Amino acid sequence: MVMLGNFLFAAATVLTSETWWDWRSIPATAISPDGQRLVYVVQRQDRMRDAVYSNLWIVNTNGNGARPLTQGDQRDTDPAWSPDGTRIAYITNRTGKPRVMVRWIADGQEAAVTSGTESPSGVSWSPDGRTLAYLERVPAKPAFQVKLGSAPPGATWGEAASVVTRLKWRADKTPGQGLVPEGDTHLFTVPSDGGAPRRISPDGYSFTGVPQWTPDGRRLAATGIRQPDGDRQLYPEDIYAISLDGQIQRLTNGNGNENTPQISPDGRSVAYLGFADKGNAHHNTNLYVTGIDGGTPRQIGVALDRNILHPRWTSNNALSALVEDQGAAHLYELRLDGGARAITTGASTRWATGYADAGPPPAISPNGTVVLSHSSPDQPRDLYAFSLADPSHRTRLTEVNRGVLTGRTIGAVEEIRYKGPDGKAMQGWIIKPPGFNASKKYPMILDIHGGPHAMYGVEFNWQMQVHAARGFVILYTNPRGSTGYGEEFGNIIHTKYPGDDFHDLMAGVDAVLAKGYVDPAKLFVTGGSGGGILTAWVVTHTDRFRAAVSQYPVINWITQAGSSDIPLVTHRWMKSAPWENPQQYLSRSPLMMADKVKTPTMLLTGEEDWRTPIAQTEEFYVALKTRGVDTVMVRFPKEPHGIRGPHPSHWVAKVEYILGWFEKYL
């Protein structure tokens, strides 16, 4: 028997933080052109090297024949099938620097087709299979330079200074870097059997995503930003067509974000995601179609009023896409004539696009075979195959965490509906501890999602299940500002964040307390990023929680606006720059209300977090420590935003620090 929190369990009967070392995820898939085979990426954690690795596996879409394609302590990612189904291209760091590899499926022979000093991304095959397109950064010198002397022979000088000339000069999730190197990301082609890469995109542009070939193989469509104008725009992305001789044509001309182009089978149309900028903090991600040479775009699926993600053409007249809705996400058919119907259904299931584990986008073959990742409250994310013609008949392809869950009891999850203070309908979920007894009184953790324009839901959540296994009831909800409930609901908090979303969260706590099995004297609160600032807001507005853990929060909007990697987003959320209306920033900053805090509060952030830099955490820590509030600051070296960087041990430690702080105050 082992003691977990205040509860006694038989050893290895519940999820513990140590199970993270054995946990597996599937971040990417690729389906063969005939729909009969699937290549997928399995990501794992290595306890001995404290590292994250990933390898390629293959399985038949009838569920048989699963086996590894690659093995080793490396990162193999982004598989893509050749049009004839005989080869796959993928990216690997097996030899050090990431490069594009081509593998012959029949005999396992491989060849590296790139060997540059930069990391490639977005690999795609030409229709005839002879050429690969991909993206790669082209370094450049900063716009301002001076002539410097060099170190004399035998001398040891310090690292050279960095010169920054762009507004968007840093980016999160680049551990050990932070500073974005000068230069732009360009479109390259290379023969699929090896040869010299050729850059085809002109100067003055930078590209993202996966370039898409036209059926005739003469052009590619890609998401691009025209430089230098785009550096100072909040939404600079547009869709461009680039011919193999370097001619470039802009296909979209909206004032918002246009991205993720998908070319129709007949090559006449381009579908893409985006929105028209209305000046709000939140916009639904909509689906549009325009001509292959541009023209007036048409919005598809207008009546849904939901985020539409990962579009794929299924015919010249219809697309499939994932649609978020009230904690769930389902695959829809969206027709060019305006029709929309759900292909998958179920309020207790979530197909891809999760919060805790996003999973890979849908994989759809030309013959209509679909592979989707699926999660439910009691089932971690795995892959399923079905036909568009018969979506009810599904074949499970993977069970990557079966070994971890075998013999372990997880907490039961139930949905809760309640009203916010102003009568708005709210949705949330409760996780009960394993062995739950309604006649007992349990401590409760309120877990607040980040974003803030994001959506908790019905998926399996490993971290929350570990918390529940320690004897806590877990409450997680979607307050105003969340996605999945329409654009108006998501945009209520524009210029008012944090604010009334706090009252929605407190109403959820009251709704669970009314059930009678939670001890009102043992309430705890945590959240990360947007949930981190709301946690800090909670402790400045109420003393009802026994302890709090604010994970990678924003504490001072003024300093956040000038130190994070998304300054223009902050200006939009506050509807002004700090020097134009400092009071707007101060009134939404928990730092300005630190004198109200009595709740013992832990602050927890990665030291290389550029989204909510650790200086935010330091400001609140000093404020609370100065006032004598019991406060601890936990700093994770070389970790980006979310503490999902190079060292899995930090993720395990994060879970234990949160639970340890709460258990101290039980």
Q: Which pLDDT score is estimated for 270?
A: 97
Residue 535's closest CA among 461, 473, 612? 612
DSSP state string for 505-527: HHHHHHHHHTTS-EEEEEEEEEE
Q: Model confidence over 3-43: pLDDT tens digits?
A: 545 554 445 699 999 999 999 999 999 999 999 999 999 99
Q: Identify whether the C-beta of residue 288 lies closer than 8 Å to the C-beta of residue 297.
A: yes
Q: Model confidence over 81-134: pLDDT tens digits?
A: 999 999 999 999 998 889 999 999 999 999 999 988 899 999 999 999 999 999
Q: Which pLDDT score is estimated for 1?
A: 43
Sign, Cα dihedral of 614, 617, 623, 629: negative
Distances from the Cα of 645 to the Cα of 92, 401, 509, 639, angstroms: 18, 21, 32, 5
Q: What is the pTM of this model?
A: 0.94
Q: How far apart are CA 574 and CA 328, in angstroms?
A: 30
Q: Model confidence over 128-173: pLDDT tens digits?
A: 999 999 999 999 988 899 998 888 999 999 988 888 888 888 888 7
Q: Identify whether the C-beta of residue 325 lies closer than 8 Å to the C-beta of residue 316.
A: no
Q: Model confidence over 233-290: pLDDT tens digits?
A: 999 999 999 999 999 999 998 889 999 999 999 999 999 999 999 999 999 999 999 9
pLDDT of residue 176 exceeding 60, the answer is: no
Question: Is residue 487 helix, strand or coil?
Answer: helix
Q: Which pLDDT score is estimated for 178?
A: 66
Q: Going by C-beta distance under 8 Å and a sequence separation of 6 or more, which residues neighbour residue 108?
A: 69
pLDDT of residue 625 exceeding 60, the answer is: yes
Evaluate whether the domain defined by 405-664 bears CATH number 3.30.1540.10.
Answer: no
Q: Which pLDDT score is estimated for 356?
A: 65
Q: Which pLDDT score is estimated for 487?
A: 95
Mean pLDDT of 454-471: 95
For every residue of 200-225, which 3-state class applies, written as one string? CCCCCEEEEEEEEECCCCCEEEEEEE
Q: Give percent of the chain with pLDDT exceeding 90.
A: 86
DSSP state string for 226-285: ETTGGGG-SS--EEEEEETTS-EEE----SSEEEEEEE-TTSSEEEEEEE---S-S----
Name the residue ranges covered by the structural domains of the chain. Answer: 204-282, 405-664
Q: Model confidence over 295-317: pLDDT tens digits?
A: 999 999 999 999 999 999 999 99
Q: How far apart are CA 326 and CA 485, in angstroms?
A: 6
Q: Model confidence over 380-432: pLDDT tens digits?
A: 999 999 999 999 999 999 999 999 999 999 999 999 999 999 999 999 999 99
